[in-house]
Amino acid sequence: PTTASMESMDSDARSMSRLSDGESVDNVATEGDARDQRSRQAHLRMLCLVKQASMIVGHKGETISRIKSMTNTRINVSENVRGVPERVVYVRGSCENVARAFGMIVRTLNDRGSGNNDKSFDDIPTTINLLISHHLMGVVIGKHGSRLKEVEELSAARLTAMPEQLMMSNDR
């Protein structure tokens, strides 16, 4: 058995022992649901230019606050370091909410980047640079690129994986 299955068996055993101590089935189910919810959390990082990060944050943080509240995600932006042209945007939450947050981020970049809210700019491709740990890239790419192809077929996205790691990082 894998480590994950062993942990699951251990937690099931703990749950069963609690039941024998008089705890209700409802409480155990709630704990299991909470554990499942935590395991379905997504943590994505996006590398963007300082100008793009300022568009995401918005005037007095209004844009980022709106995105956070509408998507129920936690979003943080790295500090602005002198001489570094990029910042990292951290988005955490459920998979669905993180996807919605990134959709809103892309729309924010497209709307502000064009300088106008005209719908004709919806067709302009936007590049999002997600930072993925090097040791997870095999899972993301899949055998012979099958996962990348699957995502491309299910969405309008075009995906590429950088062949080498970023300098001074274990991310690609």
pLDDT value at residue 2: 41
DSSP string for 9-63: HHHHHHHHHHHHTT--HHHHHHHHHHHHHHHTEEEEEEEEEHHHHHHHH-GGGHH
Backbone φ and ψ for 81, nearest 5 degrees, come out as -100, 130
- Sheet containing strand 86-94, edge to edge, reads 74-77, 86-94, 41-49, 129-131
Q: Taking the CA atoms of 150, 76, 46 and 107 in sequence, report the sign of the dihedral they define.
A: positive
Contact 56, 77 (CB under 8 A): yes
Spatial separation of the C-alpha atoms in residues 75 and 101, rounded to whole Å: 9
pLDDT in tens, 89-137: 999 999 999 999 999 999 999 887 656 555 555 566 788 899 999 999 9
Beta strands 129-131 and 74-77 are unpaired
Backbone angles phi, psi at 147, to 5 degrees: -70, -45
pTM (2 decimals)? 0.71
pLDDT at 142: 93
How far CA 129 is from CA of 34, 40, 62, 160, in Å, comes to 31, 22, 23, 10
Q: Nearest Cα to 168, choosing from 125, 140, 134?
A: 134
Tens-level pLDDT at each residue, the chain (172 residues): 444 443 444 444 444 334 444 444 444 455 556 556 556 899 999 999 999 999 999 999 999 999 999 999 999 999 999 999 999 999 999 999 999 999 999 999 988 765 655 555 556 678 889 999 999 999 999 999 999 999 999 988 888 888 898 888 889 8
